[in-house]
């Protein structure tokens, strides 16, 4: 157990993502914007693209959305990509949909389309497919995804596709080769990060859910966290975890700017 927990009267490290339940997450403007778009997308079906710098909270927002779905009504599948080939992508998609791997790419493509249509027409549970780290999708896979969306002479959306990735996914989609796919995008949101007012709210919220007192960090220290993190939740979490550790080691009952600076230097962020 981290030594700072007892020192600052915390029941757990509130800046460790593994300790935070979906219901206790901070509902930032980015979170609300993505959630509202996901709810709309679920109803109309189509493609949603969500992008940001690393650590901004896309995956957490997606996880909360998944938790909100009704098991007997909504059918969501999740793929987190590393660099993959077309064959690997088809294999993973076949596995999560429970369809045969036989028949090579043409057979798999047909089986996937039929299973998606079955979920939509027969089971009344339209597929919601979330692809995380979508910046790794290559041109061939993106082209096949566009073809997968083609039902009823392109008159019907049978499933929802959510593409989450880093900001350069936008540059990929802007290429002329992806014009047809880009036209199919129903909603798009690029995370802006926590605002100047949200950063202190975020820090205090996290301290509070772990049973700590908001007064353990000064306003000046909070301003330092804001300026050094650029509104990135993951960077804030890393700074605050180190700050709590260093503060306890230095017997500082209150986290001040000096402790924050030490934490930042410890992570070579300065």
CATH, residue 125:
3.40.50.300
Q: 47 — alpha (psi -120 to 50), left (phi > 0) or beta? A: beta
61 and 175 in a single domain? The answer is: yes
pLDDT, tens digit, 9 for 90 and up, residues 31-90: 999 999 999 999 999 999 999 999 999 999 999 999 999 888 889 999 987 667 888 888
Q: What is the CATH number of the domain that holds 251?
A: 1.10.8.60
pLDDT at 151: 72
For residue 223, give its domain range: 4-13+194-266
pLDDT at 220: 97
Last residue of a domain, one of 157, 190, 223: 190
Number of domains the chain is built from: 2
Whether 19 is covered by a domain: the verdict is no
pLDDT at 84: 74
Last residue of a domain, one of 131, 158, 190: 190
The answer to whether residue 195 scores a pLDDT higher than 90 is yes
Residue tagged 């096949």 (tokens): 144
The answer to whether residue 150 scores a pLDDT higher than 90 is no
pLDDT at 82: 67
Last residue of a domain, one of 129, 164, 190: 190
172 and 202 in a single domain? The answer is: no
- Average pLDDT of the segment spanning 240-258: 96
Token digits of residue 45: 């079906």
Which pTM value belongs to this model? 0.91
pLDDT at 203: 97
Q: At 106, is the pLDDT very low, low, confident or very high (cuts 50, 70, 90)?
A: confident
Q: At 269, is the pLDDT very low, low, confident or very high (cuts 50, 70, 90)?
A: low
Whether 23 is covered by a domain: the verdict is no
């Amino acid at each position: 157990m981290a030594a700072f927990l007892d020192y600052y009267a915390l029941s757990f490290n509130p800046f460790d993502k593994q300790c935070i339940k979906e219901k206790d997450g901070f509902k930032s403007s980015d979170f609300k914007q993505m959630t509202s778009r996901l709810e709309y997308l679920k109803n109309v079906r189509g493609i949603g693209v969500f992008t940001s710098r690393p650590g901004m909270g896309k995956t957490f927002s997606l996880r909360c959305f998944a938790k909100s779905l009704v098991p007997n009504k909504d059918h969501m599948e999740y793929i987190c990509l590393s660099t993959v080939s077309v064959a690997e992508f088809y294999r993973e998609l076949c596995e999560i949909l429970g369809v045969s791997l036989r028949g090579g790419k043409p057979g798999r493509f047909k089986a996937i389309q039929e299973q998606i249509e079955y979920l939509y027409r027969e089971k009344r549970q339209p597929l919601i497919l979330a692809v995380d780290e979508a910046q790794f999708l290559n041109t061939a896979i993106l082209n096949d995804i566009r073809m997968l969306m083609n039902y009823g002479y392109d008159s019907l959306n049978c499933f929802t596709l959510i593409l989450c990735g880093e900001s350069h996914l936008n540059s990929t989609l802007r290429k002329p080769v992806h014009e047809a796919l880009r036209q199919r995008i129903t909603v798009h949101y690029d995370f802006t990060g926590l605002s100047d007012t949200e950063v202190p709210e975020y820090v205090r919220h996290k301290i509070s859910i772990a049973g700590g007192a908001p007064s353990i960090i000064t306003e000046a220290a909070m301003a330092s966290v804001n300026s050094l993190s650029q509104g990135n939740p993951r960077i804030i979490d890393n700074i605050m975890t180190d700050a709590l550790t260093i503060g306890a080691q230095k017997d500082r009952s209150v986290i001040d700017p000096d402790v924050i600076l030490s934490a930042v230097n410890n992570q070579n962020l300065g």
